[in-house]
Structure 1
Amino acid sequence: MIQVLTSVWALLIGVVLIMLGNGMHSTLIGLRGGFEGFSSAELAIVTSGYFVGFLSGARLTPRLIKRVGHVRVFAALGSFVSAALIAFPLIAEPWAWTILRVLIGFCMSGIYVTAESWLNDSSTNENRGKVLSAYMIAQTLGIIGAQGILTLGDVATSALFIVASILVSVSFAPILLSVSSPPMTEAARPMGLRELFTGSPLSTVGMFLLGGVYAAQGGMSAVYGTQINMTTAEIATFVAMLFAGALVFQYPIGWLSDRMDRRNLIFSTAMVAMGASFIGWMSGGQLWLMMIAAFVGGGMTTPLYALFLAYTNDFLPLEDMPAASGGLVLTFGVGAISGPLVIGWSMEHLGPQSFWLVLAATFAVIAVYALYRMTRREGLPVEETESYVSVLPTASPMAVETASAWAAEQAEAEAEAVAQAEAQADGEAEGTKTAPGKKDG
C-alpha cells in the first residue's frame, strides 16, 4: 500500500483539498442560509441545484476536454468554483445561490472526471483496486475534515467561504504539477432506463431512492440542525458523523457482500438505516442520540451505493458494465435532485423532525422492494458474483465505470485461478491413482 501511495500521493493530496473546500461549502449553505432567513423549501431548491449541475457536467466535460484539452478545462473549472464560492455571501438571495450551486456542481463534476482520469492513468491493473480505495478514503477524510474547519470561523462573515475558495484553488497545484501526460477521458454512453430496469429493477429503483437520501443527508442536515437550534460546532459534528459512519461500515459490509446474497444484505442494511432514522426522530433533541443516528444512517447509505453497483454487475457481461454503471449514476443523480425537494417541503409543512421520517420512509421502501425482488428472481451463487468495490456517491461516472470494470476483471481472474487450481488438483489425484499400477508393471 505504501508503494501505491508513493506513486499517487500528490493526486490524493489534491483530492483531499478539493473535498475540504467542497465539503465546507455544502454545510455552509445550510448554516448561512438559516442566518439569512431562507426557508427549508428555498434551501432545498438550492441544495438540488448542485446535482443538476453535477449531472450536466458529467455529460459535457468529456466533450470540452476533447476540444481544448485537460489542463485548460481543469484550470477553467477550478477558477469558476473559486469565484462562485466567494460570491455566495455577496448575493444572499435564494435564486442567486441556486445558480451558483448549479455552476459549482457542473464544475466539480468536471474536476472529478479529470482528476480521476489522471488517477486511473497513474495506476496499473495490479494496484488499481488499492488506488481506488485510497482515493475514496481521501474523499471521505476531506469531507470530514471540512466540518472541523467550519468550527474555526463565524458563519455570519465571508471568511469561511473565502477559506473554501482558497482550498479549492490550492488543490489544483499538486494535481497539475504531478501529472506528466494527458490521460484518456472516455466515458461510456449510459445505458437507457428501460434496459437498465430490465436488467436490474432492484438497483434501478434503489439507486433513485438512495440518491434522494444521500443528497438530503449531505445537503439538508445542516438546515435541520439550524432549525432545531444546534450550534455551529454541533452541526459540523453532526454532518461529520454521517461520513465517519461511511468510513467505518464500508469495509465490513463489503466483506459480507462477497459472502452472501446481496439482496439479503441490501434489505438488512436498509432496515438498519431505517431504524437509525427512527432513533433520530424519537431523540427528543438529545444530541448524543442524533449523533448515533447520523453515524449509523450515514454509515449504511454509502455502502448501499456500492452494493447496488455490484449487484447490477452480477447479471451483466463485462462489456455492458460501464454503460450500466453510467446509467445507475444518472439514476442516482435524478434521485439526488428530487430528494432534498421532498425533505425541504416536509420540513416546511410538518416541522424539522420530518427530516428523519422521510429518511426512514425511503429506507423502508428500499427494504420492502428488496424483499419483493427476492420473490421474482433466483439469486446467484456467491462464487458467481462480481467483487465488491468501495465506490462513493461523490465519485464521477468515470471512477464508477473504472471500479466496475476492475471488479469484473478481478472476479474473472479469481475464477480462472480457482479453475486452474482444481484442474491441477484433479491431475495430481489422477496421477496418484495410476502410480501403483506402473510400479507393479
Structure 2
Amino acid sequence: MAQMLASVSALLISVAFLVLGHGLQSTLLPLVAEQANFSNLAIGAISSAYYIGMVLGCLGSPHVIMRAGHIRAFAALVSLMSAAAILHPIMTDPISWFVIRAISGFCLAGFYMIVESWLNESATNETRGAVMSIYVVVLFAFLMVGQVSISAMDINSFIPFAVASVTVSLAVIPVALTTANQPAPITLVRFRPIKLYQNSPAALVGALLIGVANGALWSLTPLYGSAIGLSTNESAFYAAAVIAGGVLSQWPVGRLSDRIDRRLVMMMLASSTAVVSLVIAILAPQDFGPAVAFALLVGICSQPGYAIAVSHAFDYADPEDFVETSSGLLLAFGIGSVVGPFIASVLMGPAGPSGLYYLVTVVNVLLVAFLVTRVFARAAISQEDKMDFEYAATAQVGTVISPEPLDVDAPNVIPPEEFPAYEDEIYNPEVAVVTEEVVQSDGSGSEAAEEQPAAPDGKSGD
C-alpha cells in the first residue's frame, strides 16, 4: 500500500492544492458578494452557476481529454480555473461572477474526472477501495482547510483572491513533473433518467432532492452565518462545520445501510435533517458555539444521503451499468444543486436568513413522503444481493468513481486508440504498453516501421 500511495502522491498533492483554493473561494465569494451589495437573488444565481458548470463539465470534459490527452487537459483546466479565480476582484458584478463561477465548475469537474480515472487505473483490485477512500478524505479535509483559511485574511483586500488563484495554480506542478503513467480509459457520461428511475426510483428522486437541499447548504451557509450576525471568521467555521459533519457520519451511516433497507436509512437521514433544519430556522441561534453545533448536526444528518442513494442504486444495477448509474445519479444531484441555491436565495428575501433552512426542511419532508411510497411499492432487496457500502464510489465529488475497474470494451468507456490526442499510438491492454509506429527511410525509397515505447506521459494501462 505504501508503494501504491507513493505512485499516486503527485495526484493527491495536486488535489490538496486545488481544493484548498476551491474551498477558500466557496466561502469567500458569498461574503464578498454580500459586502458588494449583491442581492440575495444574485448570490443564489451565482451559486447555481457553479453547479451549472459542474453539470456541463461532466458532459464535456471527456471530449477535452480525448482531444488533448490527460496531462495537457489537466494543465489547461487548472490554469483556466486559476485565471477565473483572480478575475473576481477585477470584474465585480453579478453577471461576470455568474460566468466565472460556471467556468470554475466546468474546470473542477474535468479535474476530478482526470484525477479519479488516474487513481482508478493506478490501483489494483485489492487496493482500489483504500486508495480512492484516501483520495476522498484528502479532498474533503483540504476543502475544509480552505474554507476556514479565510479567517486569516481580510476579505476586503485582494489577498484572498490571490491566494486562491496561487493555490489552484500550484496544483499543476506535481502532475506536470510526475513520471507516472497517465491513464487510458475514460467514461462518456450518459444520462438516461427513465432507465435510472426504472432501476431505482428512490435513488434517482433521492439524488435529485438531496442535490436541491445540499447544494443550497454548501453554497449559502457562509451567507447565512453572516446574516445572523456571525463574523467573517465565524461564518467560515460555520460553513466548514456542515462539511465536517458529513465526513464524520458518512462511513458509519453507510455501514448501517449494509444491514437494513437503505431506503429506511435515507428516510431516517431525511427526517432528522428536516427536524434539525426546522429547529435552526425557528431558533436562528446567533451565538457562535450553538450555531456551529447545529451546523455540525445538520451536516451529520444531511450529507450522507447521496451516498446511500447511490449505494441503493448499485444494489439493483448490473455491474456493467455501474458507471452509467453513478454518472446519472451525479448529474441528477447536479441538476438539483443548480435549483437549490436559487430557490433558497428567493426564500431568504421574505423569510430572512431562515429561508435557507425552511427550504431544506420542505425538501426533506418531500423526500420522506416519496420514500414511504416506495417502501410499500417494492420489497427490500435480500441481504445477500446487496453490495457492501463503498465510501469512495458513493462520495458526492465532482464526477464518477466506479466501484469496479473500467471495462475498456464497455460502450461508454473510451480506450485511448479512439483519442485524437493518441491517434498515432497503439493501445495493448494485455501488456499495458503503448507503442508508436515510427516510419523511417532506408535511403532507397523503401520504408521500415519499428515499434518504440511511448514517452512516460503517453504510456497507458488497462
What is the aligned residue count? Answer: 404
**Aligned-pair CA distance for 1:11:** 1.7
**CA, structure 1 residues 405+351, in 2 after alignment: closer, same or farther (shift >3 Å)?**
farther
Counterpart in the other structure of 2:318: 317
| Residues 54 and 102 in structure 1, CA contact (< 8 A), matched pair in contact too | yes
Answering whether residue 106 of structure 2 is matched by residue 129 of structure 1, we say no
Quote the Cα distance in structure 2 between the aligned partners of 1:177 and 1:299: 39
**Aligned-pair CA distance for 1:229:** 2.5
Counterpart in the other structure of 2:305: 304
| Residues 267 and 371 in structure 2, CA contact (< 8 A), matched pair in contact too | yes
Counterpart in the other structure of 1:157: 157
| Residues 187 and 397 in structure 1, CA contact (< 8 A), matched pair in contact too | no
Quote the Cα distance in structure 2 between the aligned partners of 1:262 and 1:4: 33
Q: How does 1:6-405 map to 2 (within 5 A)?
A: 6-281=6-281, 282-391=283-392, 394-399=396-401, 402-403=402-403
| Residues 190 and 325 in structure 1, CA contact (< 8 A), matched pair in contact too | no
Moved more, 141-150 or 184-193: 184-193
| Residues 303 and 390 in structure 1, CA contact (< 8 A), matched pair in contact too | no
Quote the Cα distance in structure 2 between the aligned partners of 1:387 and 1:217: 28
Q: Deviations over 1:32-78 (max 9, x none)?
A: 00110111110000000011111111111111211121222111111
Instruction: Tell me the SS of whatever aligns to 2:14.
Output: helix
Q: Deviations over 1:348-403 (max 9, x none)?
A: 2221111111111112222222122100000012221012112465523332xx13
TM-score where L is the length of structure 2: 0.84
**Aligned-pair CA distance for 1:318:** 1.1
Quote the Cα distance in structure 2 between the aligned partners of 1:309 and 1:394: 9
Q: Deviations over 1:283-304 (max 9, x none)?
A: 4423333212211222233311
| Residues 120 and 405 in structure 2, CA contact (< 8 A), matched pair in contact too | no
| Residues 46 and 97 in structure 1, CA contact (< 8 A), matched pair in contact too | yes
Counterpart code for 1:128: R
Quote the Cα distance in structure 2 between the aligned partners of 1:357 and 1:221: 13
Q: Deviations over 1:291-346 (max 9, x none)?
A: 12211222233311111011011112111221121111111111010000110000
TM-score where L is the length of structure 1: 0.88
Q: Deviations over 1:249-307 (max 9, x none)?
A: 11111111111111111111111222221232224423333212211222233311111
| Residues 213 and 360 in structure 2, CA contact (< 8 A), matched pair in contact too | yes
Counterpart code for 2:45: I
Instruction: Tell me the SS of whatever aligns to 1:258.
Output: helix
Percent identity between the two aligned chains:
31
Moved more, 180-189 or 32-41: 180-189
Instruction: Tell me the SS of whatever aligns to 1:375.
Output: helix
Counterpart in the other structure of 2:415: none
Quote the Cα distance in structure 1 between the aligned partners of 2:119 and 2:225: 36
Gaps of 5+ in 1: 407-441
Moved more, 282-291 or 372-381: 282-291
Counterpart code for 2:399: P
| Residues 211 and 340 in structure 2, CA contact (< 8 A), matched pair in contact too | yes
Counterpart code for 2:321: D
Q: Which has the higher helix share?
A: 1
Quote the Cα distance in structure 2 between the aligned partners of 1:78 and 1:12: 15
Quote the Cα distance in structure 2 between the aligned partners of 1:393 and 1:254: 11
Q: Which has the higher strand share?
A: 2
Moved more, 292-301 or 354-363: 292-301
Instruction: Tell me the SS of whatever aligns to 1:352.
Output: helix
Counterpart code for 2:327: G
Quote the Cα distance in structure 2 between the aligned partners of 1:205 and 1:185: 30
Quote the Cα distance in structure 2 between the aligned partners of 1:31 and 1:69: 37
**Aligned-pair CA distance for 1:2:** 4.4
**Aligned-pair CA distance for 1:12:** 1.4
Q: Deviations over 1:224-260 (max 9, x none)?
A: 1222221011101101101111111111111111111
**CA, structure 1 residues 13+370, in 2 after alignment: closer, same or farther (shift >3 Å)?**
same
Quote the Cα distance in structure 2 between the aligned partners of 1:277 and 1:3: 45
Instruction: Tell me the SS of whatever aligns to 1:353.
Output: helix
**Aligned-pair CA distance for 1:405:** 6.3
| Residues 50 and 103 in structure 2, CA contact (< 8 A), matched pair in contact too | yes
| Residues 284 and 354 in structure 2, CA contact (< 8 A), matched pair in contact too | no
| Residues 197 and 204 in structure 1, CA contact (< 8 A), matched pair in contact too | yes
Counterpart code for 2:320: E
Quote the Cα distance in structure 2 between the aligned partners of 1:145 and 1:64: 30
Quote the Cα distance in structure 1 between the aligned partners of 2:152 and 2:26: 16
Counterpart in the other structure of 1:426: none
RMSD: 1.7
